[in-house]
């Protein structure tokens, strides 16, 4: 289950292009909203937040935010982390306030375990889905969902319906969605198709290509 991580923040009045001052001060601009409270702009310590995110995934990360000037920490979930398309650094963070007694929706990453039988036989493992949307209480929210692919044979697939989930957790995505599969290597597929084409009989009134060549 997801663990709640504690972080500190300070209210900010700097917005827009002036946020560059925060970057120079080693801070990240963020916003906190939801659960019947007014939206508030805050700033986070960059080093602390980046260290935390190196061990977390945004979709299922619960945080307890201690905001300077407020009496008690605020329970929240990271809803979005914006990155610089050039440098890859974090530009902005969105937090949504949550209630621990109410279910929520969150994206949870899939963790594939085991060695597929089909791969051992020479097949290629194909991953189609990397995360699923789940519903659960904050305290029941899993950090990841394990998917055991050990028995997956060549030509077989696994769907969302095949994923085992903890009690009190519900996957909201279409249960028939293919999550992963094991396929034949591309080279072998092409060889089989070529062999099938070569084995096809000539149409009535049509000479095989090699015989036509001999007559010329």
What is residue 80's three-state secondary structure? Answer: strand
pLDDT, tens digit, for every residue of 151-170? Answer: 999 999 999 999 999 999 99
Cα–Cα distance for residue pair 151/149, rounded to 1 Å: 6
Give residue-wise pLDDT tens across range 14-25: 666 666 778 788
Mean pLDDT (the chain, rounded)? 85
Domains of the chain: 4-98 (2.40.240.10), 105-193 (2.170.120.20)
- Which DSSP string corresponds to 156-202? -EEEGGG----TT-EE-S-TTSEEEEEE--HHHHHHHHHHHHHHSPP
């Amino acid at each position: 289950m997801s663990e709640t991580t504690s972080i500190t923040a300070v209210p900010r009045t700097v917005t827009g292009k002036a946020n560059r001052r925060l970057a120079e001060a080693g801070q990240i601009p963020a916003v906190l909203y939801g659960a019947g409270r007014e939206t508030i702009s805050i700033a986070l310590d960059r080093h602390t937040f980046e260290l935390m995110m190196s061990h977390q995934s945004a979709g299922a990360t619960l945080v307890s935010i201690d905001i300077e000037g407020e009496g008690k920490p605020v329970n929240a979930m990271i809803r979005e982390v914006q990155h610089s398309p050039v440098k890859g650094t974090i530009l902005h963070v969105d937090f949504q306030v949550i209630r621990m007694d109410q279910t929520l929706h969150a994206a949870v990453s899939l963790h594939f375990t085991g060695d597929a039988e089909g791969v051992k036989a020479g097949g290629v493992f194909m991953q189609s889905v990397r995360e699923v949307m789940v519903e659960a209480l904050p305290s029941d929210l899993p950090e990841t969902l394990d998917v055991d692919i050990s028995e997956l044979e060549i030509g077989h697939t696994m769907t969302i319906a095949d994923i085992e989930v903890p009690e009190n957790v519900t996957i909201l995505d279409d249960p028939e969605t293919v999550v992963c599969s094991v396929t034949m290597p591309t080279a072998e597929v092409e060889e089989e198709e070529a062999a099938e084409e070569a084995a096809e009989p000539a149409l009535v009134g049509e000479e095989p290509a090699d015989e036509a060549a001999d007559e010329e």
